[in-house]
Amino acid sequence: MRKLTIIGGGGVRTPLVIHGLAQAQAALDIGEISLFDIDEERTQIVARLGREIAARAGAGFAVRVSSRLEEAAEGADTVISSIRVGGIAARARDERIAIRHGLAGQETTGPGGAVMALRTLPVTLRYARTVERVAPHAWFINFTNPAGLITQALTRYTGLRALGICDTPAELFYRIAEAAGRPLAEMRFDYAGLNHLGWVRQVAFRGEDITAELLADPERLRRLYPADLFDPRLIQTLNLIPSEYLFFYYSQRKAHQNLLRAGASRGEELERLNAALFTQLASEGAAEGLATYRTYLLRRNASYMKLEAQAESAFQAPEEHYDPFETATGYHRIAIDVMTALVSDQPREIVLNVPNSASRAIDDLDPEDVVEVPCPMDRSGARPFPVGLLPDSVRGLVQSVKAYERTTIRAALAGSAALAQLALLEYPIVGDWELAGAVLKEMIEADPEHLGYLK
């Protein structure tokens, strides 16, 4: 039986992953899930929910909490890393600082994403080297944001079998299939880019290109996203379907203005929601806590991207009522898809964050650059599909963001504030030396514990 370790096991979405693992137990044959997190009290609450989920499903695996990573990871077959250094409070603080400087507050794009990476890289690499020592043959699945950047550091500076995952592409594919009125299983998507910076170039149904049909219908294009993100004319002019995080590149001013109107950032609202959730869970039994957790997920999911796109708060009651554990896509589904593929002899195609490789999946980037592309995947690993050159309209943006990612990694390894400022200068969302310096200075001063190493 297999052992799975979750680093950041006290995270709010860990019960979702445990639910998915329970559903896939026949294929995965898991004997133990070991949760490691620096907040052990919170992790015990999450573990209690996880045990209830496993018992209801008859999954038969143990859910344990370890206070030491060495113990949690020793002998693991698979390690999922999903950490948030500094907690949700750090995200909320980063986003507020960005807003004060005239930029959208967001955790993976803009200065919030850069500082999240700088805060996270030293910790992730330290954890990864521990895993490398106690479980050298484990698959290391990175779910920590910014996922592409963190995965690039892992593949470049450790010997782990590391790959990065994100649920954004799969969610977009699902929405395209719904808008097209076709079954997802019979569709194929030509997708390429970086994490949170990708585009669908072509949609095919049973081998027939239906991209033009989709692009011709503005109402269908509006239904592709969880909020009103993109002007359909933008999508039609690009002749590409952007993933949702391109909103922060294509409509940065609009996102900032909506956050000002709302008087809060997504991180600030989630900080309040999460605090209320764990306060309530601490006083409830497992069965009651699971109902509370479901209600939390409904509210969190219903408000996704609404604040930045429409100035709508997460504290509005969700209109939809469904079981968030049973959604066709999402955080837990992509994790289970990857783990199931890794124990299978039959390849399945999954969009992953992997090195571009010597064969150049994306011709415009270097072999060691981590890209987000479709990959046939089985127990031997993942092999990125060649996607060729990027369209002219997005090539420069991708190359600029990749330059920013490379420099951010260099800054973290060198402990250099100057290189971190250069990374923000290279980053199209910031692109100003003085602004980069001012934002970075304030963020470092606000978090000396995690960012004070930058000198």
Which domain range does residue 66 map to? Answer: 2-86+105-165
pLDDT number for residue 344: 96
Residue 357 falls inside a structural domain = no
Q: Do 30 and 148 belong together in one domain? A: yes
User: What is the SS3 assignment for 5?
Assistant: strand
Structure tokens that stand for 211 in this block: 């991209």
Rounded CA-CA distance 163/138 in Å is 11
Point out the domain boundary residue: 165, 190, 213: 165
Instruction: List alpha helices for 80-146, DSSP H.
Output: 87-100, 110-134
Residue 114 falls inside a structural domain = yes
Pairing of the two strands 78-81 and 2-7: parallel
Rounded CA-CA distance 103/261 in Å is 14
Q: Do 8 and 156 belong together in one domain? A: yes
Q: Do 22 and 130 belong together in one domain? A: yes
Instruction: Give the number of domains in the chain.
Output: 2
pLDDT number for residue 316: 67
Residue 377 falls inside a structural domain = no
Q: Do 275 and 146 belong together in one domain? A: no
On whether the CB atoms of residues 139 and 154 are closer than 8 A, the answer is no
Structure tokens that stand for 71 in this block: 């113990």
Residue 208 falls inside a structural domain = no
pLDDT number for residue 320: 67
DSSP state of 245: G
User: What is the SS3 assignment for 358?
Assistant: coil
Point out the domain boundary residue: 306, 326, 346: 326
- Which parts of the chain register pLDDT below 70? 314-320
Q: Do 20 and 151 belong together in one domain? A: yes
pLDDT number for residue 330: 86
Point out the domain boundary residue: 125, 147, 165: 165
Average pLDDT taken over every residue of the chain: 96
The CATH number linked to 140 is: 3.40.50.720
Structure tokens that stand for 347 in this block: 């390849």
Q: Do 43 and 157 belong together in one domain? A: yes
Residue 226 falls inside a structural domain = no
Residue 143 falls inside a structural domain = yes
pLDDT number for residue 359: 75
pLDDT number for residue 314: 63
Structure tokens that stand for 86 in this block: 């500094």
Rounded CA-CA distance 52/63 in Å is 10
Q: Do 161 and 261 belong together in one domain? A: no
Residue 151 falls inside a structural domain = yes
Residue 242 falls inside a structural domain = no
